[in-house]
């Protein structure tokens, strides 16, 4: 890597810092990003010992070169895995090293390190903490309901009428179903994040799946849920995911909207089956609509995990469909999702 060459130009454009040293442990190149991180002059440090330039320490004050000994140790080593280290000003960076050898088991001929800001890891740690808190909160409510009704039935079995027992057991089943849906939702969120979501597509009558979703939720709310199906609404989709999406959209409308809820399934577009779920609440401001599909986004007093619309967007887009939010002409919000049609 020589200054002014193509390699240097590429290093100048990299988002991570790069430091390279030769077989003698002398620095050959420092990228601009690395120079800013280490607070050094990229040109002036060329030719200096790597240990003098790489001013990284751990929490105990140990230096990177002393701990990892890049030119020593086992001769089969080819790199140093990513580790967190502290810059002179105390900022955390994640450091990875590649140890180059001209022959297997030979001496190290070059050391190349990458330095990446630790803010991404901090953000990931925060996301994980938020997820744990969200899961704990969301699971507590239905579990409390199940436990309370079961204890009431056991303690007062002889005093309860058959109708009271049936009502309590029905509530227990509803809370258990809610727990099952939440667990499936969390698993799908994890699969969407890691790119391992599996879909079992087949010709699916979206209208029938919408009817099933509405039936599942009708007994858990006093609000009226109106369903309209127009045309032959068959899409190439995973049936379970279709129900999951519609259930989430209707539950979202129940939590955050007012008045009746309208669900419409139409096949007016030759390429897509379109599902719209409308409420009569306060709606979602235009400037917040893109954020509504991000993880942990919540708005208003309805609460929730903040994962429902994120999962909806991930499932629909994985099918090749679209999702959007606009205003309900009758007031409130309208969420529209589309599913690619199924052709013979």
Contacting residues for 63 by C-beta, under 8 A, at least 6 apart: 51, 54, 55, 56, 57
Contact present, 83 and 113 (Cβ < 8 Å)? no
**Domains of the chain, first to last:** 6-117 (3.30.450.20), 122-194 (1.10.287.130), 202-340 (3.30.565.10)
| Residue 316: per-residue pLDDT | 94
CA-based torsion, 227, 231, 271, 195: positive or negative? positive
Neighbour-count burial for 230-244, b at 16+ CB within 10 Å, e otherwise:
eeebbbbbbbebbbb
Contacting residues for 161 by C-beta, under 8 A, at least 6 apart: none
DSSP string for residues in 127-191: HHHHHHHHHHHHHHHHHHHHHHHHHHHHHTTTTS-HHHHHHHHHHHHHHHHHHHHHHHHHHHHHH
| Residue 59: per-residue pLDDT | 82
HSE at residue 224, side-chain half, CA atoms within 13 A, is: 5
Q: Return the SS3 of 79.
A: strand
And the tokens for 41? 């002059």
Longest CA pairwise span in the chain (Å): 89
- Give, as one character, the DSSP assignment of residue 49: B
Contact present, 182 and 139 (Cβ < 8 Å)? yes
Per-residue pLDDT of the chain (344 residues; tens, 9 = 90+): 444 444 667 777 788 899 999 999 999 999 999 999 999 999 999 999 999 999 999 888 899 999 999 999 888 889 999 888 988 877 888 999 999 999 888 999 999 999 988 765 656 566 666 667 767 767 787 888 888 889 889 998 988 899 998 888 988 888 888 788 778 877 888 888 777 888 999 999 999 999 999 998 887 788 889 999 998 899 999 999 999 999 989 988 888 777 889 999 999 888 999 999 999 878 888 877 877 887 766 665 455 566 788 889 999 999 999 999 999 888 888 999 999 997 65
Q: Among candidates 51, 30, 49, which has minimal Cα distance to 40?
A: 30
Region for 61 from its dihedrals, namely left if φ exceeds 0, alpha if ψ lies in -120 to 50, beta otherwise = left
Q: Among candidates 33, 44, 72, 39, which has minimal Cα distance to 54?
A: 39
| Residue 186: per-residue pLDDT | 79
What's the start-to-end Cα distance of the chain, in Å?
58
């Amino acid at each position: 890597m020589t200054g002014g060459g193509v390699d240097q130009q590429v290093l100048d454009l990299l988002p991570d810092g790069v430091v390279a040293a030769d077989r003698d442990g002398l620095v050959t190149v420092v990228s601009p990003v690395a120079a800013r991180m280490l607070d050094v002059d990229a040109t002036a440090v060329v030719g200096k010992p790597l240990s003098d330039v790489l001013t990284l320490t751990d929490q105990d004050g140990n230096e990177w070169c002393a701990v990892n000994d890049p030119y020593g140790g086992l001769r089969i080593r080819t790199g140093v895995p990513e580790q967190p280290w502290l810059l002179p000003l105390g900022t955390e960076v994640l450091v990875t090293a590649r140890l180059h050898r001209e022959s297997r088991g030979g001496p190290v001929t070059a050391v190349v390190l990458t330095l990446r800001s630790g803010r991404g890891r901090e953000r990931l740690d925060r996301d994980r903490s938020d997820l744990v808190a969200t899961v704990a909160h969301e699971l507590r409510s239905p579990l409390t309901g199940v436990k309370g009704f079961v204890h009431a039935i056991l303690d007062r079995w002889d005093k309860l009428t058959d109708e009271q027992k049936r009502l309590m057991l029905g509530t227990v089943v509803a809370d258990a179903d809610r727990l099952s849906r939440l667990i499936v939702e969390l698993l799908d969120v994890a699969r969407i994040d890691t790119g391992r979501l599996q879909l079992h597509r087949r010709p699916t009558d979206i209208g029938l799946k919408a009817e099933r979703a509405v039936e599942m939720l009708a007994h858990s709310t006093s609000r009226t849920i109106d369903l309209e199906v127009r045309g032959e609404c068959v899409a190439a989709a995973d049936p379970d995911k279709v129900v999951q999406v519609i259930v989430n959209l209707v539950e979202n409308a129940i939590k955050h909207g007012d008045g009746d809820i309208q669900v419409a399934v139409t096949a007016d577009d030759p390429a897509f089956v379109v599902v719209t779920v409308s409420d009569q609440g306060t709606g979602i401001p235009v400037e917040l609509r893109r954020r509504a599909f991000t993880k942990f986004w919540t708005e208003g007093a309805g609460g929730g995990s903040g994962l429902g619309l994120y999962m909806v967007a991930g499932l629909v887009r994985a099918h090749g469909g679209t999702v959007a939010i606009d205003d309900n002409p009758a007031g409130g919000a309208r969420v529209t999702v589309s599913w690619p049609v199924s052709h013979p």
